[in-house]
């Protein structure tokens, strides 16, 4: 075992370097696409005639091209790609790694630029796994076991580079990708995640993804207020999984239904872009604006939750590449903010901070949808740089997990994988 570990070190380092570099480039490209979309919307507002039609035409074209790339060249690159990666690790599918990498990068970039409410984090995991497969293919002398090790480690490195969160990437490998993980997988994933994180921090800086400072440890008398947040996260998380699977089935009925979905989605994105462009995209800027200075009313929060919920389901079911990782966190932040405001109104003596509830809500909602509580908790701690959140995170996340189990809602990535396998068996 020691010899095999030593043999894996150079491969894991190269895997981390390549995944970090490509993921950072992916990050910067998506940011440039978001800036381009915002400039286009601003120019359309200044136009005297036909201004909304400019945005509608651009959005519809982006949706068609983004989904068309996937349909024509790499159907396995649709969505986040995490279910496909899980199938690869179960030896259920071949891995056309180079095609997936290229189509994933381009489709996510085009769709995100067009305003699809999808994130780059799931695709970063898929891209990292593709790079792991590529190393297995191109590096001489690799066996079948090393293939699984490097694909899983690449997925963890992709998540690490997407969030600047090495422990989260490693936990995701252990909890979601390789649940029967041996010490060999753990060793390779740890090296790849740390290497990818160093690349990411060297290029993008060492600041946490979300800007939120906790003034001391939340008092114990506030912990009970996080139980309702966990319950609501479980209910809305179960609904999210149900409607996501429903959307997948609906768009697969015929090509006409897919076109109808694309046109309807483009119209909804255009209306949102015209009124509230900050609600488009992955949701990271929306979360940061909430945690920095945004003061939302309860009515605004409810409206934003409804819009983001529908747009996320619509975007994820469009057939384009793009993840639901960050959109899930954005929905959780909005839900947490709403629960915090309701707690302020009903129990003013607790003196709660809605921003704290927004942060805890991200982990609770993630836990309800993905059912990976350790990844959710570690991710939020790393993304905020606040270890004082551990107690409210435990209360909200495990409440969400217990209620979601009671409701019978499956983990979203496993449900999507089962849906894909069922579809293949019927074809």
- The mean pLDDT of 87-111, rounded to a whole number, is 88
Q: Which of 79-88, 218-227, 241-250, 300-309 has the lowest mean pLDDT?
A: 218-227
Strands of 32-115, DSSP E: none
Mean pLDDT of the chain: 85
Sign of the torsion angle spanned by Cα atoms 420, 125, 359, 389 = positive
Task: Give burial (CB, 10 Å; 0-12/13-18/19+) of 220.
Answer: exposed
Q: Tell me the average pLDDT across 202-220.
A: 68
> Encoding tokens for residue 350?
């607790």
* Contacts for 140 with CB less than 8 Å, ≥ 6 apart: none
User: What pLDDT, in 10s, does the model give residues 114-165?
Assistant: 999 998 888 999 999 999 998 888 876 655 457 778 888 888 888 888 888 8
> What confidence score (pLDDT) does residue 144 get?
47
CA atoms within 13 A on the CB side of 159: 34
Do residues 70 and 78 lie in contact, with contact meaning Cβ atoms separated by under 8 Å?
yes
Q: Is 321 helix (H, G, I), strand (E, B) or coil?
A: strand
The half-sphere exposure of 192 on its side-chain side, counting CA atoms within 13 A, is 36
Q: What is the Cα–Cα distance from 109 to 105, expressed in whole angstroms?
A: 6
Q: What is the pLDDT of residue 288?
A: 82
Q: 181-201: per-residue pLDDT in tens?
A: 556 667 788 888 888 888 888
Q: Indicate the fold that domain 220-426 takes in CATH.
A: Clc chloride channel (1.10.3080)
Residue spans of the domains in the chain: they are 2-204, 220-426
Domain range 2-204, CATH class: mainly alpha
> Are domains 2-204 and 220-426 of this chain identical in fold?
yes
Provide the pLDDT confidence category of residue 294 given band limits of 50, 70 and 90.
low
Q: What does the block give as tokens for 24?
A: 């950072």
Return the higher-pLDDT residue of 113 and 144. Answer: 113
Q: What is the pLDDT of residues 298-353, one digit of tens each?
A: 888 899 999 999 999 999 998 899 889 899 999 999 999 999 888 888 888 777 78
| Residue 2 banded pLDDT, cuts 50, 70, 90 | low
What is the pLDDT, as a whole number, of residue 30?
93
- Which residues 6+ apart lie within 8 Å of 335 measured at CB? 229, 232, 233, 236, 305, 361, 365
What does the pLDDT look like over 48-68, one tens digit per residue? 666 788 888 999 999 999 999
Share of the chain above pLDDT 90, in %: 36
Q: What is the DSSP letter of 142?
A: -
**C-alpha dihedral sign at 208, 302, 122, 278:** negative
Cα–Cα nearest to 85, from 6, 11, 156, 20 = 156
Q: DSSP label at 323?
A: B
| pLDDT at res. 6 | 66
Between 173 and 336, where is the model more confident? 336
The answer to whether 281 touches 307, Cβ cutoff 8 Å, is no
- One DSSP character per residue, 128-140 reads HHHHHHHHHHHST
């Amino acid at each position: 075992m020691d010899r095999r570990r030593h043999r894996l070190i150079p491969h894991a380092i190269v895997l981390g370097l390549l995944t970090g570099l490509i993921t950072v480039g992916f990050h910067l490209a998506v940011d440039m696409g978001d800036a381009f979309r915002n400039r286009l919307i601003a120019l359309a507002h200044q136009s005297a005639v036909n201004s909304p039609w400019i945005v509608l035409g651009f959005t519809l074209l982006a949706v068609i091209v983004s989904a068309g790339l996937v349909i024509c060249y790499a159907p396995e690159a649709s969505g986040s790609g995490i279910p496909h990666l899980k199938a690869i690790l179960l030896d259920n599918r071949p891995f056309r790694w180079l095609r997936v990498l290229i189509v994933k990068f381009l489709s996510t970039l085009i769709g995100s630029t067009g305003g699809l409410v999808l994130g780059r984090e799931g695709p970063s995991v898929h891209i990292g796994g593709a790079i792991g497969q590529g190393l297995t293919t191109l590096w001489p002398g690799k066996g079948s076991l090393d293939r699984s090790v490097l694909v899983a480690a690449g997925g963890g490195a992709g998540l690490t580079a997407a969030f600047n969160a090495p422990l989260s990437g490693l936990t995701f490998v252990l909890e979601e990708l390789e649940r029967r993980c041996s010490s060999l997988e753990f060793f390779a994933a740890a090296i790849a995640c740390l290497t990818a994180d160093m690349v990411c921090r060297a290029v993008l800086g060492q600041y946490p993804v979300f800007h939120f400072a906790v003034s001391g440890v939340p008092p114990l008398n506030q912990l009970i207020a996080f139980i309702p947040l966990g319950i609501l996260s479980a209910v809305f998380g179960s609904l999210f999984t149900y409607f996501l699977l429903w959307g997948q089935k609906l768009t697969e009925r015929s090509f006409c239904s897919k076109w109808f979905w694309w046109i309807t989605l483009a119209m909804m994105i255009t209306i949102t872009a015209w009124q509230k462009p900050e609600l488009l995209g992955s949701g990271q800027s929306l979360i940061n604006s909430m945690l920095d200075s945004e003061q939302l009313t309860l009515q605004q929060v409810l409206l934003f939750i409804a819009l983001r919920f529908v747009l996320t389901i619509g975007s994820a079911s469009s057939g384009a590449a793009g993840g639901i990782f960050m959109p899930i966190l954005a929905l959780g932040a909005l839900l947490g903010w709403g629960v915090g405001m309701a707690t302020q109104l009903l129990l003013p003596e607790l003196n709660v901070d809605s921003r704290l509830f927004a942060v805890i809500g991200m982990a609770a909602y993630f836990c309800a949808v993905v059912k990976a509580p350790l990844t959710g908790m570690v991710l939020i701690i790393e993304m905020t740089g606040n270890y004082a959140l551990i107690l409210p995170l435990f209360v909200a996340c495990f409440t969400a997990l217990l209620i979601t189990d009671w409701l019978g809602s499956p983990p979203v990535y496993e449900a999507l994988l089962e849906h894909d396998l069922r579809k293949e068996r019927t074809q």
